[in-house]
Structure 1
Amino acid sequence: MSKPRDDRQKDLLLPALDQIIDMGHPLVRLAALIDWKFLDERFSSVCQGGSGQPGLPTRLVAGLFILKHMHSLSDEVLCARWIENPYYQYFCGELSFCHRLPFDRSSMTRWRQRLGEEQLVALIQESLSVAHKTGAIGPKDLERVVVDTTVQPKAVAHPTDARLMHRAIVKLVGLAKRNRVPLRQSYLR
């Protein structure tokens, strides 16, 4: 795979996104604060030169992951909102409003599998940097970090065909006894 492509340009027949949206919107202001070149440098190690179609622009991919986690969205919902929301498109670096996705939804999964620890650390670093620049967190907030790493398995009994069949037999035998229907077999264990 070669270096990510970013051949996006303004469509002469469509108005530019920065002309139709409110430039004071929180996503527009957040997009201006993020150092996209820093993320582009860190994400470039994921793409090696070679044959094949060039990857998606780094700003698009990083922007989608940021939006996904900011709003706790699934890939399907994120893609649907991206199509209808010009602020999402502006945040991800589009210049004109797009009426369809410039990528296949399965690209999200492939990018997630391809990203390593270094790229995820870069996203966290940039998130903390922006939070510090905006005053959302202060130096005192970064002195001590508490991380809960406990994993507690849940006691969930997943239904199996045998268990469901046994429950049905128990309920039907009970119903037959209440209505005094004689059974040839008791089905008791």
Structure 2
Amino acid sequence: MRPKKHKTTGSNDLFRARLDQIINMKHELVLLAGKIDWDWIDGEIAPLYSENGRPGIATRFMIGLLLLKHTYGLSDEGVCERWVHDSYFQFFTGEEFFQHAFTHEHSDLSHWRKRLGDKLELLLAESLRVAHEAGALRSQDLKRVAADTTVQPKAITFPTDAELLHAAIKDLNRLARRHGVRLR
């Protein structure tokens, strides 16, 4: 089921601190969060949800975590741990009040990546749009693109001790059958 639209209350809470009152609103993540068209991304991802089931996790939260993960070179667990301690991460993912605990499962990120599939290209398109709009990317920079394929995964398995032992047992069994040696 599609996540419910996140609504900010805009009001103060006696027991919780509003993030926009405690962080620097000129910080790079705050400015970037303001430039990303979260509603457009949400609309593009909406067809990936079914009509049944419980409401999903907010698109801005999950897409924000994926962007932060890749921006800072963190693992799934690392970005979730840093989110708890970093108020700028929380603001970037759409939180209104500071949260003291991670509100979802760490595995939700991998489930989301599987759900997105080909839609990850949308994130690339949006990040290029934002970079172009902010002046960090010029049109002439896009005339020539270099693709480095040296880090492409290969279908190569490296032998481990267990694999070598298993191969040796199979060879010895074959030799024993060939020479008529009975094994237990």
Same fold (TM over 0.5): yes
SS in 1 for 2:124: helix
Q: 1:16: how far off? A: 0.8
Percentage of identical aligned residues: 40
SS in 1 for 2:122: helix
Map of 1:108 onto structure 2: 109
Change (3 A) 1:85 1:78: same
CA distance in 2 between partners of 1:136 and 1:96 (Å): 31
Unaligned runs of 5+ in 1: 165-189
Q: Provide Cα deviations, 1:110-151, integer angstroms capped at 9, x if missing partner.
A: 11111121x211100110001101111100011121223354
CA distance in 1 between partners of 2:163 and 2:34 (Å): 58
CA distance in 2 between partners of 1:63 and 1:46 (Å): 18
Contact preservation (8 Å) 1:8, 1:95: no
Is 1:125 aligned to residue 99 of structure 2? no
Map of 1:23 onto structure 2: 25
Which amino acid is 1:145 matched to?
V
Q: Provide Cα deviations, 1:19-47, integer angstroms capped at 9, x if missing partner.
A: 00000111001101111111111111111
Deviation larger for 138-147 or 88-97: 138-147
Aligned-residue CA RMSD (Å): 2.1
SS in 1 for 2:50: coil
Unaligned runs of 5+ in 2: 166-184
Change (3 A) 1:156 1:46: closer
Contact preservation (8 Å) 1:18, 1:95: yes
CA distance in 2 between partners of 1:149 and 1:7 (Å): 40
Return the index of the structure with the highest Cα Rg: 1
The runs of at least 4 consecutive aligned structure 1 residues that moved more than 3 Å come to 6-11, 149-158, 161-164
Contact preservation (8 Å) 1:8, 1:94: no
SS in 2 for 1:3: coil
Change (3 A) 1:157 1:91: same
Q: 1:56: how far off? A: 0.6
Change (3 A) 1:123 1:72: same
CA distance in 1 between partners of 2:120 and 2:156 (Å): 32
Q: Provide Cα deviations, 1:42-73, integer angstroms capped at 9, x if missing partner.
A: 111111211x2110111001100100100111
For these two proteins, the number of residue pairs brought into alignment is 161
CA distance in 1 between partners of 2:155 and 2:3 (Å): 41
SS in 1 for 2:88: helix
Is 1:4 aligned to residue 9 of structure 2? no
Map of 2:97 onto structure 1: 96
Map of 1:169 onto structure 2: none
